[in-house]
Structure 1
Amino acid sequence: MIPEYADLACGEIINSARAAAYAEGRCLLSACDPCPDLATALNDMPYVDPVTDPAPWYDPNLPESGNFLGVMGMSAAGFSASTISRTPVQLVGDGAALGVARRAHREILYTVLLLALDDCALSYALEWLSAALQGGPCSGACGGSELGVYACCPTGDGTGELRHLYAVGLLDGPQITTATYFPDGIIAEVTFTLAAAVPWIYREPLDTGSDWVQLSAGTPLTFDPDEVYGECLEATPCLDDPTCPPPPLPVRAPVPVDACYPTGSAAFYRSVVALSPVDQPEWLEAVPVLELETGASALRRVIVRFWANPLGGDCMDVADPCAACTDIQIPYLPAGSTLTVDGRTQTAEVDCPQGALGTGTSTPTLYGPLGGSFEWPVFSCPTGLCIEILSTQASTAADARARVLLVPRSDVG
């Protein structure tokens, strides 16, 4: 990843192109053009000065903010190393059991330059940078924020080079390591460390050729969407001696299921989405992001199923739950709410209308097949997907709609 740009919680932190333009205009730096197309990728006008633009840090109530010329990235360490590790357990005899591979959090050390015209502006720069690195008002303190960076200098709109990290928060700093005074201003070297609780590095969602689907426009049908689970075949152990059965295994704790899970036939709308990624990288995994808007009425018994479709078959012919990768089942969603099931952060939330208060956010419980445990799907090879969305006709509003995005990820960048 290049150090020339970073935004945290949708707020610009580092922009070397902006800082270079402002500093050159004040003769603090000689001609320097890091990532010449950065402003275009950010949809910014040519940079003039902190007051005219105005810059993200400029505060008209604090004149010294106009004398702070920006943050120039020098280095960013921590993106190019995988966080995967495992601890082998030594056996009594020779060798060891490898153990489970897991990924730890990711730590990213930034070294930047703060460009200021005087000491007051430098003091303000540190105050602003410290506050900006806290992230969003709640997300930064509670669960971290989204970090946006570029893998290389962007071209065009920059979407091909843009990367995202999630659940990112300040771990250490910022602190000045050196400060150099010039006749025209001050250049201070500053370091700070960010921690990403989610270690993966995500690209932009793939172009799948699919957009929002109106649920009420799906195929009407009446059936029990789960009755076929009773017919799923399982392999039978072939070494059990019928005349000498093995001792019974200890009783396992029961798997919690949805207490209100409905059974039996019902009238559904069935919408089928075929995702055919155009540009999915061959060696990267991908995870889905589900977005669903309930519209004018509460939505009950929503079932979303995923099938891998490597041969590009007709998704309308897919109907066997036994072959599905996983189910997402949600018992109830209130009217006017928006559900987001995000495979990038493995979180789910529902934004619900709260009258005069606006909206409130709740965390739904996701269930899997037959109301049992849910597993987050990960698609480890480039393949199309068939996605079936079922909703009861009696509760599906005319304006209810859903869409699914597919997002590639890597553990280094």
Structure 2
Amino acid sequence: MSDPAPWYDPAVPESEYFLGVMGLDVVGFSQSTRGRTPVQLVGDGAALGIARRSHREITYTVLLLVREECALPYALEWLSAALQGAPCEGSCVGDELGVFSCCPTGDGTRELRHLFGVGLLEGPTVTATRYMDEGIIAEATFTLAAAVPWIYREPLETLTDWITLRAGTLLTFDPDEVYGACLEATPCLDDPLCPPPPLPVRAPVPVDACYPTGSAQFYRSVVSLPPVAQPEWLEAVPVFELETGGTALRRLIVRFWANPLGGDCMDVADPCAACTDIQIPYLPAGSKLTVDGRTQRAEVDCPAGPLGSATSSPTLYGPLGRSFEWPVFSCPTGLCIEILSTSATTAADARARVFLVPRSDVG
């Protein structure tokens, strides 16, 4: 009542006698979710199969502290409601869970970890109750499930600043011609005198119907991350944010290059050596794009007049407007990140930023 505590409700008098929840134990962070199921062969041995990570289950044991018996049912009601997650962002997608890997020091940033796609799996369930002169202590358990098995750290501090797109270098080029110069190795065992039988027709790869051809002027902004800034034994994934500003933005390209020698990223321009592309054909004015490698989801928040804003999921394309693959950087190679936007559609207040987020399988 004097804090004010988040569970205190003036409309529920017994909430005044609920003193809170104290953590007792947690299980599920120190176990890897990686596994594989070998398939036995007809002869000796087995095919190992593909290693994959399942969802993560986290079980908490907590104490509910109350001063009178009538407050205990309310404490359970409140805990159950709190574990349902955000009313508008939960449901099938789940929520973000923030935890500390150890007792925090300073502002706690170094110890803070994040899990995504988290929802209540079962509970809470009271397993023991102790009555004392000063009140009641009830022991309860509940289990959360994280659809994304990874445990993420805070983004690396070297990539956090916003970049004004019009402050980049202005250049003219044709992305289609640039990619056309990339060579592909041909199989060396194909006999020209005895060609192999034709393979069955494969389904065509979806291609962006609005992928443009022809040269155009682009603003080019480059972000660099030195190899020493990346943790040596942790994978990392990017998070890209962009605000279009006053006009609609078309033909956005974001490229990632490995830079193990820590060279000048302004000299890196070979698209054949790029790790991957993120290409989006259109973003409306006043919108904000988020491409999140942690959850492998992309969202665009668009202005919706009196309704505030509306959220949509854009289609991401890769090089030449073809299939997109979520990038994962498994080694501390350093990065060069190039952001290209057409000068004719880049607003004066358009800006972008990139995060690189380390992740682990246990924590």
TMscore range, shorter length = over 0.9
Q: How many residues align?
A: 363
Aligned residue type for 2:247: S
Alignment partner, residue 346 of structure 2: 396
Alignment partner, residue 48 of structure 1: none
8 Å CA contact 1:343–1:377 kept in 2: the answer is yes
Alignment partner, residue 171 of structure 1: 121
8 Å CA contact 1:305–1:388 kept in 2: the answer is yes
Aligned residue type for 2:102: C
CA 277–296 in structure 1, closer or farther in 2 if over 3 Å, else same:
farther
Residues 175-214 of structure 1: CA deviation (Å, up to 9, x unaligned) = 1111110000000000101000000000011111551110
Residues 355-374 of structure 1: CA deviation (Å, up to 9, x unaligned) = 11101110000000011000
SS class of match (1:375): coil
Please, which moves more after superposition, 287-296 or 259-268?
259-268
Q: Is 2:363 aligned against 1:409?
A: no
Alignment partner, residue 244 of structure 1: 194
CA 278–355 in structure 1, closer or farther in 2 if over 3 Å, else same:
farther
Q: Is 2:283 aligned against 1:333?
A: yes
Alignment partner, residue 357 of structure 1: 307
Aligned residue type for 1:137: P
Residues 274-306 of structure 1: CA deviation (Å, up to 9, x unaligned) = 123665321110000000000011100100000
8 Å CA contact 1:206–1:278 kept in 2: the answer is no
Q: Comparing both chains, which one has the higher relative contact order based on Cα–Cα distances under 8 Å and sequence gaps of 6 or more? A: 2
Aligned residue type for 1:345: T
Alignment partner, residue 79 of structure 1: 29
Q: Is 2:97 aligned against 1:147?
A: yes
Aligned residue type for 1:374: F
**Mapped partners of 1:206, 1:89: distance in 2:** 40
**Mapped partners of 1:142, 1:340: distance in 2:** 20
CA 67–279 in structure 1, closer or farther in 2 if over 3 Å, else same:
farther
Aligned residue type for 2:190: D
**Mapped partners of 1:133, 1:366: distance in 2:** 33
Residues 119-141 of structure 1: CA deviation (Å, up to 9, x unaligned) = 22111111110010011012221
- Superposed, 1:186-197 pairs within 5 Å as 186-197=136-147
**Mapped partners of 1:226, 1:242: distance in 2:** 31
8 Å CA contact 2:159–2:355 kept in 1: the answer is no
Please, which moves more after superposition, 203-212 or 277-286?
277-286
Q: Is 2:223 aligned against 1:223?
A: no
CA 305–209 in structure 1, closer or farther in 2 if over 3 Å, else same:
closer
Please, which moves more after superposition, 230-239 or 315-324?
230-239
**Mapped partners of 2:14, 2:337: distance in 1:** 55
- Superposed, 1:347-386 pairs within 5 Å as 347-386=297-336
Please, which moves more after superposition, 276-285 or 323-332?
276-285
Unaligned 5+ segments in structure 1 are: 1-50
Alignment partner, residue 76 of structure 2: 126
Q: Is 2:216 aligned against 1:304?
A: no
8 Å CA contact 1:208–1:277 kept in 2: the answer is no
- Superposed, 1:268-283 pairs within 5 Å as 268-276=218-226, 279-283=229-233
Aligned residue type for 1:235: A
Q: Is 2:259 aligned against 1:318?
A: no
RMSD of aligned Cα (Å)? 1.2
SS class of match (1:332): strand
8 Å CA contact 1:207–1:277 kept in 2: the answer is no
Structure 1 residue 100 displacement after superposition: 0.8
Alignment partner, residue 135 of structure 1: 85
SS class of match (2:175): coil
8 Å CA contact 2:33–2:56 kept in 1: the answer is yes
Aligned residue type for 2:289: L
TM-score using structure 2 length: 0.98
Q: Which of residues 99, 102, 110 is equivalent to 1:160? A: 110
SS class of match (1:59): coil
Q: Which of residues 212, 215, 218 is equivalent to 1:262? A: 212
**Mapped partners of 1:281, 1:122: distance in 2:** 46
Structure 1 residue 382 displacement after superposition: 1.4
8 Å CA contact 2:159–2:354 kept in 1: the answer is no
SS class of match (2:203): coil
Alignment partner, residue 155 of structure 2: 205
Structure 1 residue 62 displacement after superposition: 2.1
SS class of match (1:139): coil
8 Å CA contact 2:15–2:74 kept in 1: the answer is yes
